[in-house]
Structure 1
Amino acid sequence: MGTMNSPADDDRYAAVHGSAQFKTLRRQSHAFILWASVIFFGWWFLGCALATFAPDFFRQGIGGPMNVGLLFVLLSFAFVVTTSAVYLRYARTRLDPLSERIRADLEGDLR
């Protein structure tokens, strides 16, 4: 059995969606995601371009079985882990407090 949403609840959620706090939360979230995506895909396209147009560069040995191409792939994994950690910290320090304020305003004394 589900709960029934009243029109008043719908109006309340619509008001929150249009509020300045919610717009700030979305803007901050989208700004981080945009820059992280630009940097990551730039790195990825750089790797694809180097592998395509400079394959000899990717084949250069660094030491033992390691070459530049393999190092590039390993750095890509490290970059993903680092980006995830940075986002978690950003969300914890910037996004979560704002979302908690929005939730508290929305729920009032229910929480």
Structure 2
Amino acid sequence: MTSPFELFQRQPSYVRSPYAHTPDAEPDVPTDVERLHKERRSRVFPVVTAVVGFYLLNALLANVAGELMAARLVGHLNIGLALALLQCATTLLVCRWYARYARTTLDPLAERVRAGLEPRGSRR
């Protein structure tokens, strides 16, 4: 005979969440989300910090060291223009790097998280 407490502990199948996971079939969603955040933070934040730091250094030099920035390198190309062109090039390279990094590393992790969050009956 079952006790009344056991009846309240078990939930009928219609009350169970459709997001419930079996450990062997579904990915561990919290672990995958943590891994996704860790992967993004570990690679993206240092690169963004370097690019923003380079931009701020360029702006600081333009305001403080006007004579240095006006020094000619070749023909009409001075140090200020060269640094500005280098800033554009590094921004373009970082954008291309991030697109490739997101496509190869972050997107598969996000797909695993998304697959783990879908209800069981709604898979395509």
What TM-score, normalized by structure 1, do the two folds share? 0.76
1:97 aligns with 2:108: yes
Structure 1 residue 40: Cα displacement: 1.0
Where relative contact order (Cα < 8 A, 6+ residues apart) is larger, the structure is 2
Match of 1:21 in 2: 32
Task: Choose 1 or 2 for highest CA Rg.
Answer: 2
Residue 30 of structure 1 aligns with which residue?
Answer: 41
Report what 2:123 is aligned to.
110
Code of the residue aligned with 1:97 in structure 2: it is: P
Structure 2 residue matching 1:62: 3-state secondary structure: strand
Q: Using the alignment, how far apart are the partners of 2:114 and 2:64 within structure 1?
A: 51
* Residue type at the aligned position of 1:60: A
1:1-111 → structure 2 map (5 Å cutoff) = 8=17, 19-107=30-118, 108=120, 110-111=123-124
Counterpart AA for 1:29: R
Letter in 1 for 2:32: Q
RMSD (Å), alpha carbons: 2.4
Deviation at residue 49 of structure 1 after TM alignment: 2.2
Runs of 4+ residues over 4 Å off in structure 1: none
What TM-score do you get using the length of structure 2 for normalisation? 0.69
The CA distance in 2 between the partners of 1:37 and 1:88, in whole Å, is: 14
The percent of aligned pairs where both chains have the same amino acid is: 30
